[in-house]
Amino acid sequence: MTEHILKCWPNAYDAVASGIKRFEWRKDDRGFDVGDVLVLRKWDPSPDNGFGVRGYVMFRGKHLVPEYTDQRVRVTYILRGMFGIPDGYCVMSIERVEEL
């Protein structure tokens, strides 16, 4: 089992948290496997989030990194190379897990 830390936009993050969204569509560049844990970090990419699109802000000459809200999900199934999924991408079926 590998743990992957991934940024997740607020609307998708909230849908996973509520149980409505039970999949992740991702670039398949991390060697995802069934049983892996995805640590989803709620991240707002809009410039008006206080941190800008780079994810940090300068304050008194120092970079401040935003605090993230995390949730963990486990990969239960992975679909690659079928049904219109482009090469290099995958769709993962996920289930929420309690804090490890």
C-alpha distances (whole Å) from 58 to each of 13, 20, 53, 68 are 26, 36, 13, 17
CA 48, chain centre distance (Å): 21
Question: 53 pLDDT band (50/70/90 cuts)?
Answer: very low
- pTM here? 0.76
d(CA 32, CA 5): 12
**Is the confidence at residue 100, as pLDDT, over 50?**
no
pLDDT tens figures, 1-47? 899 999 888 889 999 999 999 999 999 999 999 999 999 988 766 65
Give, rounded to a whole angstrom, the gap between the first and last alpha carbons of the chain. Answer: 13
Q: Identify whether the C-beta of residue 90 lies closer than 8 Å to the C-beta of residue 34.
A: no
Cβ atoms < 10 Å from Cβ of 100: 8
Structural domains in the chain plus CATH codes: 3-96 (2.30.130.30)
**Torsion 8-53-2-90 (CA) sign:** positive
**Residue 84: what pLDDT?**
87
pLDDT for 74: 96
Quick one: pLDDT at residue 70? 82
